């Protein structure tokens, strides 16, 4: 024991766990009607996902937080932080628990064993870990944690966004935790540099934006790292694709089609990219370029590169464009770009065009057609004074396939298009859907009902590549089995 104990006594305090939260109303009636109307549409048009807010029951009463603050302050007065920092995690936790138990006794706080246990756990998390975030970080079913200031935290579980009862003592405590997170990767977040990207030790991706930019207190967003990355088999199990579409994706990945994965925020682009890389042959040299290393490739010959933000003096930034350029001097067979956001699009397309077949990247767009315009505008951002037709020809010459990922309004994630880039007609790039997801309705629980079907293309443009790799049989079977026939047994082609 090394704490400086105090014998001060205080009037007894009573705290109670109280469940005072209530479920917020879910969907409003008019939204339901609008959804049904939309669900009737047969095109795979995807509406913006509905944010479903379900207030999870608040765990504790105000008194609990008052007592916690009192005990916490007494602990900070008592404990010798220099000594504490010399202990390893479990020993430090044990020490804090001893001192907190003593403070509770001295201060005469009346609480049940269970309440006391929770208070001890909370305080240990505050001192040693990420405070109120710890229980959320420990859960593996959470995809995202979104903290909007000290009082409001949302999580995404099974595609649904839920409001939790997790709260921080105040914005200062939240800011301290943000600082603790980003300092682990040698960064700072404060008023003078209020935007920061970082990574938790487990690989989770973190973004912090602090006041004055975030008006209601620091906003912290965490994309939880999944220990077991989803694989194509699981996407089939979740209904995101059919077993046949899985085979088509595997062939696309293996036969070295240049592929762009397009999708909205959190639609599953990185997951899909990771799945696609699973079909790459084991003897290929792959170089990945990411802003925050998320991909987990299984191949033995992989070089992982990560961009770097500028330091406090505004120096030392390494952009995605720099990484891709450098890649070309590293004898890559494939280049995989986590996310294409800007002028690096030009460099990626050039790499695709110059003997690095099978390169892949993701970008934010809501449809394959929109992905093309995004590519165009990103190339123009780079200041290349190229005529639009030349840019489009470049895209056509580089990109073979666009795979569209979407998060539907019921929270489910689907692969809504596997689309080929065919060529140019006058000034327009022609696209050809191979597989589309078609919404047919909505069930009683609000789940979207639909089907993946082939558009009747028997020989996609990458057929020759498939032939070269001996994959035509698998491909032909998967395409044939994806056909949906009408009541008269005729295939339903592209509509
Ligand atoms: N088909 C799927 N079914 C269920 N969950 C999925 C599916 N695809 C992805 N997810 C989950 O959704 C979350 C977001 O996925 P991912 O990181 O791949 O999205 P993203 O589009 O790359 O997001 P961002 O735009 O933020 O980079 C992850 O937790 C992931 O495990
Ligand atoms: Mg991503």
Alpha helices in 139-194 (DSSP H): 171-183
What is the DSSP code string of 372-427?
Answer: HHHHHHHHHHTT----HHHHHHHHHHH--EEEEEEE-TTS-EEEEEEEEEEEEETT
> Residue 238: CB within 6 Å of ligand 1?
yes
Distance CA 427, CA 407 (A): 32
How far apart are the CA of 480 and the centre of ligand 1, in A? 29
Per-residue pLDDT at 347:
92
Per-residue pLDDT at 59:
60
> Residue 235: CB within 6 Å of ligand 1?
yes
> Residue 263: CB within 6 Å of ligand 1?
yes
How far apart are the CA of 41 and the centre of ligand 2, in A? 29
* Residue 365, token pair as written in the block: 């767009």
Please give the model's pTM, rounded to 2 decimal places: 0.80
Strand positions, DSSP E, 200-267: 205-209, 219-223, 259-263
- Which protein residue's CA is at the shortest distance from atom 16 of ligand 1? 268
How far apart are the CA of 436 and the centre of ligand 1, in A? 19
Ligand nearest to the CA of 230: 1
Give SS3 for 260: strand
Per-residue pLDDT at 270:
95
Please give the C-alpha separations between residue 192 and each of 4, 207, 209, 266, 306, in angstroms, as whole numbers: 37, 16, 11, 29, 25
Closest among 176, 220, 227 to 202, alpha carbons compared: 227
* pLDDT, greater one: 17 or 107: 107
Per-residue pLDDT reduced to its tens digit, 456-492: 888 999 999 999 999 999 999 999 998 876 666 666 6
Per-residue pLDDT at 116:
85
Closest among 214, 75, 239, 83 to 150, alpha carbons compared: 214
Distance CA 102, CA 7 (A): 10
Q: Is the peptide bond before 212 cis (omega within 30 degrees of 0)?
A: yes
* pLDDT, greater one: 1 or 288: 288
> Residue 270: CB within 6 Å of ligand 1?
yes
Per-residue pLDDT reduced to its tens digit, 293-325: 889 898 999 999 999 888 777 789 999 999 999
pLDDT of residue 108 exceeding 60 = yes
Per-residue pLDDT at 428:
92
Q: Are 143 and 407 a contacting pair, CB within 8 Å?
A: no
Per-residue pLDDT reduced to its tens digit, 180-207: 899 888 888 988 889 999 989 888 999 9
> 36-50, 68-82, 179-193, 463-477: which has the minimum mean pLDDT?
36-50
What residues have CB less than 8 Å from 50, skipping those under 6 apart?
Answer: 27, 31, 35, 409, 410
Q: Are 352 and 359 a contacting pair, CB within 8 Å?
A: yes
Model confidence at 6, pLDDT cuts 50, 70, 90, reads very low
How far apart are the CA of 9 and the centre of ligand 1, in A? 52
How far apart are the CA of 267 and the centre of ligand 1, in A? 5
Instruction: Count other Cβ atoms within 10 Å, centred on residue 396.
Output: 16
Q: What is the pLDDT of the chain when averaged over all its residues?
A: 84
> Residue 292: CB within 6 Å of ligand 1?
no
Model confidence at 431, pLDDT cuts 50, 70, 90, reads very high
* DSSP assignment letter at 329: G
Model confidence at 126, pLDDT cuts 50, 70, 90, reads confident
Per-residue pLDDT at 47:
46
Distance CA 378, CA 344 (A): 8
Model confidence at 31, pLDDT cuts 50, 70, 90, reads very low
What residues have CB less than 8 Å from 348, skipping those under 6 apart?
Answer: 324, 335, 337, 340, 359, 361
Per-residue pLDDT reduced to its tens digit, 210-250: 999 999 999 999 999 887 778 999 999 999 999 999 999 99
Strand positions, DSSP E, 75-140: 109-110
- Which protein residue's CA is at the shortest distance from atom 10 of ligand 1? 268
Model confidence at 15, pLDDT cuts 50, 70, 90, reads very low
Q: Taking residues 383-389, report their average pLDDT.
A: 86
């Amino acid at each position: 024991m090394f704490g400086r104990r105090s014998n001060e006594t205080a009037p007894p305090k009573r705290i109670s766990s109280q469940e005072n939260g209530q479920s917020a109303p879910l969907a409003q009636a008019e939204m339901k009607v609008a959804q049904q109307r939309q669900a009737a549409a047969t095109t795979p048009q995807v509406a913006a996902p509905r944010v479903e807010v379900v207030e999870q029951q608040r765990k504790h009463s105000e008194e609990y937080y008052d007592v916690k603050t009192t005990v916490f302050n007494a602990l900070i007065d008592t404990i010798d932080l220099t000594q504490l920092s010399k202990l390893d995690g479990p020993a430090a936790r044990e020490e804090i628990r001893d001192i907190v138990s003593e403070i509770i006794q001295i201060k005469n706080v009346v609480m049940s064993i269970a309440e006391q246990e929770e208070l001890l756990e909370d305080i240990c998390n505050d001192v040693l870990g990420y405070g109120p975030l710890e229980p959320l970080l420990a859960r593996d079913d959470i995809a995202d944690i979104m903290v909007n200031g000290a009082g409001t935290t949302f999580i995404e579980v099974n595609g649904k966004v839920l409001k939790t009862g997790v709260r921080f003592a105040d914005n200062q405590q939240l800011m301290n935790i943000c600082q603790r997170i980003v300092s682990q990767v040698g960064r700072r977040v404060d008023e003078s540099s209020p935007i920061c990207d970082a990574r938790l030790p487990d690989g989770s991706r973190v973004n912090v934006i602090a006041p004055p930019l975030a008006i209601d207190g620091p906003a912290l967003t965490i994309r939880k790292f999944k220990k077991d990355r989803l694989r194509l088999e699981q996407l089939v199990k979740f209904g995101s694709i059919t077993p046949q579409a899985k085979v088509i994706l595997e062939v696309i990945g293996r036969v070295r089609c240049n592929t762009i994965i397009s999708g909205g925020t959190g639609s599953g682009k990185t997951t899909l990219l990771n799945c696609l890389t699973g079909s790459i042959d084991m003897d290929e040299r792959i170089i990945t370029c990411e802003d925050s290393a998320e991909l987990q490739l299984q191949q033995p010959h992989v070089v992982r590169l990560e961009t770097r933000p500028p330091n406090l003096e505004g120096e030392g930034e390494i952009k995605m464009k720099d990484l891709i350029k450098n890649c070309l001097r590293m004898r890559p067979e494939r280049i995989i770009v986590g996310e294409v956001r800007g002028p690096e699009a030009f460099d990626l397309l050039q790499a695709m065009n110059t003997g690095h077949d099978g390169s892949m990247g993701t970008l934010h767009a809501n449809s394959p057609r929109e992905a093309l315009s995004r590519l165009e505008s990103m190339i123009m951002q780079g200041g290349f004074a190229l005529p639009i037709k030349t840019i489009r020809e470049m895209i056509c010459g580089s990109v073979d396939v666009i795979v569209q990922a979407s998060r539907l309004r019921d929270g489910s994630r689907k692969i809504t298009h596997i689309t080929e880039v065919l060529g140019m007609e006058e000034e327009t790039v022609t696209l050809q859907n191979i597989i589309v997801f078609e919404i047919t309705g909505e069930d009683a629980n609000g789940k979207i009902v639909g089907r993946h079907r082939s558009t009747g293309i028997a020989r996609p443009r990458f057929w020759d590549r498939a032939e070269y790799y001996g994959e035509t049989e698998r491909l032909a079977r998967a395409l044939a089995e994806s056909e949906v026939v009408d009541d008269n047994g005729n295939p339903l082609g592209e509509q």
